[in-house]
Amino acid sequence: MKAGKHIKTLNSNLS
Amino acid sequence: MIHKYKLNGYNICLDVHSGAVHVLDDAAYDILDYCDENMTENPPEAMFSALSGKYDRDELTETYEALYELYEMGQLFSPDDYEKFADMMTKAPVKSMCINISHDCNLRCEYCFAAKGDFGQGRCLMSIETAKKAIDFIIANSGTRHNLEVDFFGGEPLMNFKVVQQTVEYARSIEKQHHKNFRFTLTTNGLLLDDEKMEYLNREMANVVLSLDGRKEVNDKLRVTPGGKGCYDIIVPKYQKLISQRSKDKDYYIRGTFTKYNLDFTNDILEMRKLGFDQLSIEPVVSDPKLDYSIKYEDLPVVFEEYERLANTIIESRRKGDYYNFFHFMIDLNQGPCAIKRLRGCGCGNEYVAVTPQGDIYPCHQFVGNEDYKMGNLNDGTFNTDMKMQFARANVYSKDNCKNCWAKFYCSGGCNANNFQYEGDIKKSHKTSCELEKKRLECAIMIKAALAESGDSSACDGEDCIVEVCH
């Protein structure tokens, strides 16, 4: 998970 | 294309063509209304005009920059360039087969799509000769595929248990010489389970699907013997014994059907859990819309609310350390199937076929009995490759309602049999099924967001949820 102040990205390749 | 929605206090955005999932604060969520596939480095003035009463200019600018960074990384409004892959697998071999080993059943479930066991074709059992031809067929038609799958289905497969055993033995005896690896599964109503059969299923079947609708009063209302008696008290102890002896490296599912009569199906999942089971599934009934127990489009708000209740129940349980798996909320956000697989779906009629005791071949178990969709016969060696191609070309880009749908890489164009049953066309998606699938996906993604927030590493599919500031 990558988290910033406004946005958290839950995943990392749509293969 | 993106799909954004609010659920359970989370603002969620799925970037459809990259698969990225973002959880947003309110400002980012609102700003997305002023963004599209042509984002620019400078924020649009319309955004400031519309949102300046709600957020200050600096916050809007900062948040827009974070969104633009995602856009530049290909994780927001990423382009759709997958259509070129859609026909890539049209010549795929047959690798998976449903063997209707029995067109007879010892239950008369009211909602059975198999016409209470015989698929409308008269009660009969498959002979070992026909079963061997089925195994020979899948080997001969599987090309270079190594992993082959056979599901014993019916009717009730355990009514023809001897032939199940002989079929497995035959396949195992020839798989190595053909460089194949068979994976067997079996679906049962449980009535005929005994110690011998349990030991066999736990040894030979990679997956067993055990039918149970949940609470006793729910199960016994529709899952009845020919004499009209319920079966809950007979099957539950057998399932508990089978699962207690089953190796952890083999799959099982307790699999139920919910109808208009139990739209509070979270209680049925909780009943399954209370009985000690942890691999659970309950699915909406597929039936003639005229029937009392059918689920209709107007029932969807109630069903949606129930899926949300189930999602919250699962989150609450997980936070207390109680893990159980709900089949339709399983989603792997990091990998899952490749995009090629997602484009073409379950493989019905192309990679997957069903065979009957008479040796007839159909696109899948739900088409059995529909003469218009008979693909051939094991005894006369016929196999309609034109029909196979028709199904091979039924992918998300050949279905008008699917190609621009946000859920296309998760539902993969839906169920061809449902489309045919309700809409009369395998390429015309069934609206109620679509809405149900989209709701389940929204809930599944929300569960991931909630578990990630509470530091549950399974939310990231086994990766540590290391927080790295990047926006």
Q: Exposure string (b/e) for B328-352, b if CB count within 10 Å is 16 or more? A: bbebebeebeebebbbbbbbbbbbb
Residue A9: list chain B partners with CB under 8 A: 20-23, 70, 75, 470-471
10-residue averages of pLDDT along chain B (471 residues):
95 96 97 95 93 92 95 94 80 89 93 80 91 97 90 94 96 94 93 96 94 97 94 97 93 92 97 95 87 91 96 92 89 83 85 94 92 94 93 89 91 87 86 91 95 74 37 37
Q: CA of B342: which chain A residue's CA is closest?
A: A14
Cβ of A2 within 8 Å of Cβ of B335? The answer is no
Q: How close does chain A come to B452, measured CA to CA in Å?
A: 8
Q: Reduce the DSSP state of residue B174 to 3 states and report it.
A: helix
Closest by Cα among B201, B193, B204, B276 to B240: B276
- Predicted local distance difference test score (pLDDT) of residue B414: 87
Estimate to the nearest angstrom the gap between the alpha carbon of B183 and the chain centroid. Answer: 18
Closest by Cα among B171, B183, B165, B164 to B126: B164
Q: CA of B26: which chain A residue's CA is closest?
A: A6
- Predicted local distance difference test score (pLDDT) of residue B451: 92
- Who among A1, A5, A13 is closest to B460 (CB)? A1
Q: How close does chain A come to B347, measured CA to CA in Å?
A: 18
Cβ of A7 within 8 Å of Cβ of B75? The answer is no
- Predicted local distance difference test score (pLDDT) of residue B428: 82
Cβ of A1 within 8 Å of Cβ of B25? The answer is no
Cβ of B66 within 8 Å of Cβ of A6? The answer is yes
Measure the CA–CA gap between B313 and B326, rounded to whole angstroms.
Answer: 11
Q: How close does chain B come to A1, measured CA to CA in Å?
A: 5
Measure the CA–CA gap between B414 and B401, rounded to whole angstroms.
Answer: 11
Interface residues of chain A, partner chain B, Cβ below 8 Å: 1-15
Cβ of B17 within 8 Å of Cβ of A14? The answer is yes
Closest by Cα among B1, B79, B6 to B445: B6
Residue A6: list chain B partners with CB under 8 A: 24-25, 27-28, 62-63, 66, 471
DSSP state of B101: -
Please, is B219 exposed, middle or buried when counting C-beta atoms within 10 Å of its C-beta (0-12, 13-18, 19+)? buried
Cβ of B24 within 8 Å of Cβ of A2? The answer is no
Residue A11: list chain B partners with CB under 8 A: 19-21, 333-334, 460-461
- Predicted local distance difference test score (pLDDT) of residue B371: 85
Strands B382-383, B376-377: pairing kind: antiparallel
Q: CB of B333 within 8 A of CB of B445?
A: yes
Measure the CA–CA gap between B56 and B51, rounded to whole angstroms.
Answer: 8
Cβ of B335 within 8 Å of Cβ of A6? The answer is no
Cross-strand partners of B361: B355, B376
- Who among A1, A6, A14 is closest to B24 (CB)? A6
Q: How close does chain B come to A4, measured CA to CA in Å?
A: 5
Residue A3: list chain B partners with CB under 8 A: 467-471
Q: How many CB atoms lie within 10 A of CB B192?
A: 16
- In what order do the strands lie in the sheet containing B360-362? B325-326, B279-284, B251-258, B207-211, B181-188, B147-153, B96-100, B352-355, B360-362, B376-377, B382-383
- Predicted local distance difference test score (pLDDT) of residue B116: 75
Q: How close does chain B come to A8, measured CA to CA in Å?
A: 5
Estimate to the nearest angstrom the gap between the alpha carbon of B241 and the chain centroid. Answer: 26
Strands A2-3, B325-326: pairing kind: unpaired
Residue A5: list chain B partners with CB under 8 A: 25, 62, 66, 471
Q: How close does chain B come to A5, measured CA to CA in Å?
A: 7
DSSP string, B204-232: H-SEEEEE--SSHHHHHHHSB-TTS-B-H
Take residue B367 and report the two structure tokens written for it. Answer: 């088409």
Q: CB of B153 within 8 A of CB of B189?
A: no
Phi and psi dihedrals of B357, rounded to 5? -60, -25
Take residue B132 and report the two structure tokens written for it. Answer: 């061997």
Please, is B292 exposed, middle or buried when counting C-beta atoms within 10 Å of its C-beta (0-12, 13-18, 19+)? exposed
Q: CA of A15: which chain B residue's CA is closest?
A: B338
In angstroms, what CA-CA distances link B290 with B300, B370, B415, B435? 16, 20, 21, 20
Q: How many CB atoms lie within 10 A of CB B394?
A: 23
Measure the CA–CA gap between B87 and B344, rounded to whole angstroms.
Answer: 9
Total residue count of chain A as it appears in this document: 15
Strands B124-125, B147-153: pairing kind: unpaired
